[in-house]
Amino acid sequence: MLFMPDLIVKEVGPIKVKSIGSIIFMEGEMKFWAWSAYDKCSFRCVYCSVEAQGVSKPQILKEEVGPLLDDFDKQAGRKFPFYMGVTSDPYPPIESEQQLTRHTLMELAKRPNIRVVLCTHGDMIARDIDVFKSMTNLEGVGITIPMHDNEKIKQLEPGAPTFEARVAAAIKLHEAGLPVHVNITPWIPGVSEADMIARELPADMKVNVGVLSYNEHQRYYTKYLFGRDIPSAQRVFGKEYTQEKINDAFLAAHKQIGGGTKGNLKWLVLPTSGKNHTHHLTNP
């Protein structure tokens, strides 16, 4: 008999953590349900905001996905989106063999009440264009490309695809008419060249630029889920940059670059601004 999870609410510091099985409610400046078919992430990005670095392994059987989504659909409704790619990337290399993400997307296509958003550092996402095109509930697809230098990618995202592979995947999704955008997140001082990335992409594709953050707004989740008080980004970059210096460099780059060569750059407001950080700064 398959496990049918109930909605569980736990007090964690000043916030409440809600979960339906392995689906977790993330409540910060954004509110959404987060889930991945995989536990841990083989891309191993050093700045990972949810401490998911490791070897990707399936956390669910294919036959369990449908019942889990049925239970989620009954209990969570449409108020907040179902976001794949937050707790762990949905397209690690093992996905080519397991196809758990593809199977989940096919199941989600059958449940139009669930609002679906997906984000990945991977290029395998282009494989699933046919499934995405069948989904009436797909609200957004993002590909994360925070740097264009493949040597830096090997250093900071050691398991992730190359810059060129991710750009090609984004363009394929765009040409298929899907709601795709690119995320230059985290924007890292001295590493992320926003305009170099954006000008490789279509002028009518939105390219969001979001600052490297030590994620204090997620600290309670980080502590609850992984037992760590200091997020990965702060452990890696904290000696070189304070959050204030990162923010100042980000704002200076925004002032200098603005919309970029193609006008497709959209700079997100700082997480500490008090505003929803999916909002954009006005161009200088």
168-193: average pLDDT: 97
Burial level of 107, CB count in 10 A (0-12/13-18/19+)? Answer: middle
In the chain, DSSP finds a helix count (H) and a strand count (E) of: 10, 12
**Bridging pattern class, strands 15-20 and 23-27:** antiparallel
Q: Give residues with Cβ within 8 angstroms of 199, minimum separation 6.
A: 260, 261, 262
Sign of the CA dihedral 230, 21, 88, 44? Answer: positive
Distant-in-sequence contacts of 271-279, Cβ < 8 A, 24+ apart: 271/29, 271/211, 271/213, 271/215, 271/216, 271/217, 272/216, 272/243, 272/247, 275/29, 276/29, 276/30, 277/29, 277/30, 277/210, 278/29, 278/30
pLDDT of residue 227: 63
pLDDT interval class at 5 (50, 70, 90): low
The reported pTM is 0.90
pLDDT of residue 98: 97
Mean pLDDT (the chain) is: 90
Q: Are 188 and 146 in contact (CB under 8 A)?
A: yes
pLDDT at 85 over 50: yes
Is 274 in a helix, a strand, or coil? coil
Place of tokens 């070189």: 240
249-257: average pLDDT: 97
Percent of the residues in the chain that have a pLDDT greater than 90, as a whole number: 70
Sign of the CA dihedral 12, 15, 21, 24? Answer: negative
206-235 confidence digits (pLDDT tens): 999 999 988 765 666 666 666 666 778 888
22-50 confidence digits (pLDDT tens): 888 877 667 888 899 999 999 999 998 87
Measure the CA–CA gap between 240 and 263, rounded to whole angstroms. Answer: 31
65-77: average pLDDT: 90
Q: Give residues with Cβ within 8 angstroms of 245, minimum separation 6.
A: 189
What are the chain's domains?
A: 7-273 (3.20.20)
